[in-house]
Structure formats: structure tokens, C-alpha cells
């Protein structure tokens, strides 16, 4: 990291640079905290978006109850940064990963999702042999069709079995209404979310009627936070992308500010076409084409590995060396391409924050 660049203007730093507006970031964190204070659920932010202990700690200081991770490697980084209450919202399968998980459980209050008895038994055997008490949530498929046991009888049957396994502590249930998160029609998004959550809460009720405690019911994402966070029985919301935002999430939660951009440099100009030094290895396109926000009047037309081509739509002309600022269409995968955040106060670089969970896919 080039700390000598601290104090430079956004338009002077080396490129391409992943930039984070500190004011917008903190306002997004505060907005989510305020929203959660109006209901009974708490936020457990998903760190798979920002991949940064520095941001995770800002969320916790603002009232988050802990952190959600997608992968064991992310959880290990968060634990090394002193964060104890960690949910791995995923299955941890196989001898190598289970061994690592036990090491994490010895020093933190980590929780992990389970959906199959075989996996739960493997976790139980490892935890019991080491004298570790591992917290688990049963993942319920509430309609997304990805991971999770079916709601109702299958959830209850697995809960009965897991609650009897030594070395495990069944904490409750989790689900993810991912199929509803990006619905742009607010009423359709609300209806789909309520349908998904009703399945999760019905499963919770079945466990309670069977005498199985369910202190945690975890669900939600950024696109459904305001619905899930107020749904009776939900105790925590796993929202992630709200903290940095991108063009895709702007279509469903415009109340949050754009904190994440990429500053790139023009390296070639020919007429109304300009080429910049930020391509597919800098900005991901799977949620759509990234958006040029500075200067106005230019659009991003094509990306290759190291270059992107811009077209002039009426803005002022560009020349080699000029800087442009681009809003990612998908923050999560774009962030994972970079080593550091260039943290900005206004247009001044004030810090470089390592993206310490970058590449932690194991």
C-alpha cells in the first residue's frame, strides 16, 4: 500500500483505485441501525460485501449484534480482528474445513448453518472430541431453491436430531429470501418476502410446539431489510450491500447512498471514444454495465481484461490522463478484485483500508 498518497485528491491518486466515501459509508451504517431500532430484529451485517474488519467494527459500534460471513476464511479474518459473534451462513463440509471450524469455535462464538444430518453428525463428532460447543442454525429453504432443508416436517425432524447431538448447541433457524431481494416492484417484493418468511416462522412454531427452543431466527438481505426486519418472529437481518451500494441495489433501496466508486484514468482518445485503464479485472459486469458518473455525458460500452471503452453522449471531451469515476453495478464481486479501499473524506484520501477477506473463498 502506498501510504505516501494519503492527503492527495481523488483525482490525483494512482489508478485504477477502489474508492470509499467515508461520510456516505457511515451514514448508510447509521441509517440501517436506525431502521433496525424501530423493530424487534437486529442487524447482523453480511461481510461478504465489504470483506473488511475495519468496516465490520464500524457496523458493530453502531449497534450490529455480530457479523455474517459466507465462507470460513472470511470468518477467520474477522476473528483475527477481534470479532467474536460470527455467523457463517453456509454449510461447512469436509474434514479440512471442519478442523478449521473447530479452531475458530474454540476462540469465538461462531455459528454455522446445517441442512443435513450427516454434516451435523460430523460437526458433532469433531466438536465433542475437542470439548468444543459449536452453535448451529438449521437452514430452511424458504423458496429460493438453493440450500436448506424444506420447511415444516423436514425442518422439525432435523431439529430433533441435531438437538440431541453432543458438542452442538441448536440456536435456531435461518433462511434467505434471495428470490425476493431484487424485485423492483415494492408490493411484489413485500408479498414474496412475506410468503418466504411465513414458511420460516411456521417452522419455528413447529419447533417451539415440540419443546425445542428457537432463540434465533435469522433472514433477510439488503433488498428486503425493511420488510424482514419488521416481520414478527425474525430476530436478525443479514443485510450486506447497503453499506457500499451499487447500481443494481439502487433500484430497490435508493434511500442508501453510493459509497463505492472506481476512479480510472483515460489512456487513449479517438474522437468520441475514450479508453480507460479499468477493465474486467477491476469492475465486474454480471449485474449490468457499470455506470460513468464523472464526467457526465459518457457511458461505458465495452470491457476487456484491462480496458474499458467509453462513448461520448454529450459531455465535455476527454484527453489522456483525465480521471473518470465509475459506479460498480455489483459491489460485492468488484470489491473482491481489489487489495485496498482508498478511503475518502470529500475528495481527499485519508486512509487505505486493506480488503483483508479478499479471495477468502475456502
pLDDT at 225 over 90: yes
- Within 8 A by CB and 6+ apart from 133, the residues are 105, 127, 167, 168, 169
- The average pLDDT across 13-26 equals 98
39-242: what CATH class?
A: alpha beta
pLDDT at 253 over 90: yes
What was the pLDDT predicted at 39?
Answer: 86
What was the pLDDT predicted at 119?
Answer: 98
Domain ranges of the chain: 3-18+255-354, 39-242
Cell numbers that stand for 139 in this block: 437452514
The average confidence (pLDDT) of the chain is 97
What was the pLDDT predicted at 322?
Answer: 98
Q: What is the pTM of this model?
A: 0.97
What was the pLDDT predicted at 315?
Answer: 84
Cell numbers that stand for 101 in this block: 471450524
pLDDT tens per residue, range 258-272: 999 999 999 999 999
pLDDT at 4 over 80: no
Confidence of residue 74 (pLDDT cuts 50, 70, 90): very high
Judged on CB neighbours under 10 Å (0-12, 13-18, 19+), 133 is middle
Q: Which of 168-180 are b and which e, b meaning 16 or more Cβ less than 10 Å from the residue's Cβ?
A: bebbbbbbbbbbb
- The average pLDDT across 53-77 equals 98
- The average pLDDT across 34-44 equals 93
What was the pLDDT predicted at 3?
Answer: 75
Fold topology of 3-18+255-354: Lyase, Ornithine Decarboxylase; Chain A, domain 1 (2.40.37)
pLDDT at 294 over 90: yes
What was the pLDDT predicted at 286?
Answer: 96
**C-alpha span between 24 and 244 (Å, rounded):** 8
pLDDT at 185 over 80: yes
Amino acid at each position: 500500500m502506498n501510504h505516501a498518497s494519503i492527503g492527495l485528491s481523488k483525482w490525483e491518486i494512482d489508478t485504477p483505485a477502489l474508492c470509499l466515501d467515508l461520510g456516505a459509508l457511515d451514514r448508510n451504517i447509521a441509517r440501517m441501525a436506525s431502521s433496525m431500532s424501530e423493530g424487534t430484529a437486529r442487524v447482523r451485517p453480511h461481510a461478504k460485501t465489504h470483506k473488511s474488519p475495519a468496516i465490520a467494527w464500524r457496523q458493530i459500534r453502531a449497534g450490529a449484534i455480530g457479523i455474517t460471513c459466507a465462507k470460513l476464511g472470511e470468518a477467520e479474518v474477522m476473528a483475527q480482528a477481534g470479532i467474536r459473534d460470527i455467523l457463517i451462513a453456509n454449510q461447512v463440509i469436509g474434514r479440512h474445513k471442519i478442523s478449521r471450524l473447530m479452531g475458530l469455535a474454540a476462540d469465538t462464538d461462531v455459528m454455522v448453518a446445517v441442512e443435513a444430518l450427516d454434516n451435523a453428525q460430523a460437526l458433532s463428532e469433531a466438536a465433542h472430541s475437542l470439548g468444543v460447543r459449536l452453535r448451529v442454525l438449521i437452514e430452511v429453504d424458504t423458496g429460493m431453491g438453493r440450500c436448506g432443508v424444506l420447511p415444516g416436517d423436514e425442518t422439525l425432524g432435523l431439529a430433533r436430531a441435531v438437538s440431541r447431538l453432543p458438542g452442538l448447541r441448536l440456536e435456531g433457524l435461518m433462511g434467505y429470501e434471495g428470490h425476493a431481494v431484487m424485485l423492483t416492484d415494492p408490493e411484489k417484493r413485500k408479498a414474496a418476502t412475506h410468503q418466504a418468511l411465513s414458511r420460516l416462522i411456521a417452522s419455528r412454531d413447529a419447533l417451539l410446539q415440540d419443546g425445542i427452543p428457537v432463540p434465533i431466527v435469522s433472514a433477510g438481505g439488503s433488498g428486503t431489510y425493511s420488510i424482514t426486519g419488521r416481520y414478527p418472529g425474525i430476530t436478525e437481518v443479514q443485510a450486506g450491500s447497503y453499506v457500499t451500494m451499487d447500481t443494481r441495489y439502487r433500484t430497490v433501496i435508493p434511500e442508501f447512498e453510493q459509497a463505492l466508486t472506481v476512479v480510472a484514468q483515460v489512456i487513449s482518445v479517438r474522437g468520441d471514444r475514450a479508453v480507460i485503464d479499468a477493465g474486467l479485472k477491476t469492475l465486474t459486469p454480471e449485474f449490468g454495465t457499470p455506470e460513468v458518473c464523472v464526467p457526465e455525458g459518457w457511458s461505458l460500452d465495452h470491457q476487456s481484461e484491462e480496458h474499458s471503452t467509453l462513448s461520448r453522449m454529450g459531455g465535455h471531451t476527454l484527453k489522456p490522463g483525465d480521471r473518470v469515476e465509475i459506479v460498480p453495478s455489483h459491489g460485492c464481486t468488484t470489491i473482491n478484485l481489489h487489495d485496498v479501499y482508498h478511503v475518502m473524506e470529500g475528495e481527499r484520501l485519508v486512509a487505505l483500508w486493506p480488503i483483508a477477506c479478499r479471495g477468502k473463498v475456502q
